[in-house]
């Protein structure tokens, strides 16, 4: 019995020592890997915009310089509006990064502007801020789990149609078949993309009789205000109804948002 107890004692002592050695080397190794500055590299945020989709792309490089493997490496990002509603979320996983090896992956967060603006139309005309939650989690040496989460990171949002206001147009020019009107709109594009669209007009005389409709092109480069009036050409269906006075119904059609916005009525003449 004494020999059995002694054997058990030695087994416990050796196992405890091995456990401590493993724990110390694993913790040292993981902190050494992270502290080296090259362990987990997030090489800047890239923004791509195409087909009404905004793609935020973060190239991720994991350089495992430690003594043990990294497994189940997962990056998660969640984009929320200022009221906390989730706009988009995404996860990227690297199954395994062997010791002394490097793995790279691009983590993408995709946003459909059409979906966002149809649900949150205030984002068109109001500057606000988004919130990003970012987390990195992984297992080290198959035994230790690490999770680093950064929540409530603020990202400014610039409205593409900031301060949109319709002003009284200039006097219409009539050539017998067509009307040309300079529509004055005050708007600033605070967003990071160019706004291109059409201004659609319906013209009525002072007796509410429909005279005709037309359109003019609107181009507002990013970070700038609409320069000058929008020249619109209106085909007059019945020239006799044009009296030189009345009102316009103005709509802004933005193909990138797949919808038309009613800007309101404005008198002319």
Partner 1 sequence: MADVKEKERTAKDWIKILLPKILRAAVWGFIMGGEMLILIYIAEAGGPFLKLIPIEQESLSYLLVVFVGFEVAIQLLYGTIFQYALSITRALISMIALVFMTNGGIISITLQRSQEIPIPLGMSIIFAIDFKAILGAWLLLSSLSIVKNLLQAIEFLSEKEEEPAIPPEIP
Looking at the Cβ atoms of 139 and 202, the one nearer to partner 1 is 139
Structure tokens at 214: 């037309």
Looking at the Cβ atoms of 23 and 171, the one nearer to partner 1 is 23
Looking at the Cβ atoms of 19 and 171, the one nearer to partner 1 is 19
**Least distance (Å) between residue 26 CB and partner 1:** 9
**Least distance (Å) between residue 42 CB and partner 1:** 15
Separation between Cα atoms, residue 116 and residue 121, nearest integer Å: 8
Q: Are 64 and 99 in contact (CB under 8 A)?
A: yes
Looking at the Cβ atoms of 58 and 266, the one nearer to partner 1 is 58
Separation between Cα atoms, residue 171 and residue 183, nearest integer Å: 10
Instruction: Please name every residue paired with 104 in a beta bridge, in sequence order, or none if there are none.
Output: 61
Separation between Cα atoms, residue 90 and residue 132, nearest integer Å: 11
Query: At a CB cut-off of 8 Å and minimum separation 6, what does 33 contact?
Result: 39, 63, 64, 65, 66
Structure tokens at 147: 């999770």
One residue of 2, 50, 176, 228 binding partner 1 per CB under 8 A: 2
- Is residue 84 near partner 1 by the rule CB under 8 A? no
**Burial letters 215-248, b for 16+ CB under 10 A, else e:** bbebebeeeeebeeebebebebeeeebbeeebbb
- Is residue 155 near partner 1 by the rule CB under 8 A? no
Looking at the Cβ atoms of 94 and 144, the one nearer to partner 1 is 144
Query: At a CB cut-off of 8 Å and minimum separation 6, what does 211 contact?
Result: 179, 203, 204, 205, 234, 236, 237, 238, 241, 242, 246
**Least distance (Å) between residue 34 CB and partner 1:** 11
**Least distance (Å) between residue 99 CB and partner 1:** 18
Total number of residues binding partner 1 (CB under 8 A)? 26
- Is residue 4 near partner 1 by the rule CB under 8 A? yes
Structure tokens at 148: 């680093």
Q: Within positions 20 to 39, which residues make up the interface with partner 1, using CB under 8 A?
A: 22-23
Q: Within positions 95 to 154, which residues make up the interface with partner 1, using CB under 8 A?
A: 142-154
Part in contact with partner 1 (CB under 8 A); list of ranges 9-17, 56-64, 94-102, 240-248: 9-17
Looking at the Cβ atoms of 147 and 227, the one nearer to partner 1 is 147
Looking at the Cβ atoms of 96 and 129, the one nearer to partner 1 is 129
Helix or strand or coil: residue 23?
helix
Q: Are 136 and 74 in contact (CB under 8 A)?
A: yes
Part in contact with partner 1 (CB under 8 A); list of ranges 18-26, 117-125, 200-208, 236-244: 18-26
- Is residue 42 near partner 1 by the rule CB under 8 A? no
Residues that bind partner 1 in the complex, under the rule CB under 8 A: 1-2, 4-5, 8-9, 11-12, 15-16, 19, 22-23, 142-154
């Amino acid at each position: 019995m004494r020999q059995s107890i002694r054997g058990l004692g030695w087994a416990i002592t050796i196992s405890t020592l091995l456990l401590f050695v493993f724990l110390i080397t694993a913790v040292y190794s993981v902190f050494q890997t992270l502290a080296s500055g090259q362990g987990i590299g997030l090489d800047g945020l890239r923004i791509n915009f195409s087909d009404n989709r905004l793609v935020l792309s973060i190239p991720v490089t994991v350089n495992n310089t430690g003594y043990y493997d990294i497994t189940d490496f997962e990056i998660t990002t969640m984009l929320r509006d200022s009221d906390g509603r989730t706009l988009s979320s995404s996860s990227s996983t690297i199954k395994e990064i062997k010791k002394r090896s490097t793995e790279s992956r691009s983590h993408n967060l995709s946003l459909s502007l059409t979906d966002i603006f149809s649900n949150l139309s205030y984002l068109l005309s109001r500057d606000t801020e988004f919130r990003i939650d970012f987390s990195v989690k992984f297992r080290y040496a198959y035994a230790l789990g690490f999770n680093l989460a950064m929540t409530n990171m603020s990202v400014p949002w610039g409205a593409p149609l900031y301060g949109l206001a319709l002003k009284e147009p200039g006097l219409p020019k009539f050539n017998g078949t067509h009307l040309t009107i300079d529509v004055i709109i005050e708007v600033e594009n605070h967003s990071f993309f160019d706004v291109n669209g059409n201004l659609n007009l319906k013209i009525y005389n002072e007796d509410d009789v429909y005279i005709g409709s037309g359109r003019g092109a609107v181009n507002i480069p990013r970070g700038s205000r609409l320069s000058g009036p929008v020249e619109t050409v209106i085909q007059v269906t019945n020239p006799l109804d044009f009296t030189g006075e009345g009102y316009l119904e103005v709509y802004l059609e933005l193909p990138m948002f797949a919808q038309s916005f009613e800007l309101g009525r404005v008198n002319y003449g």
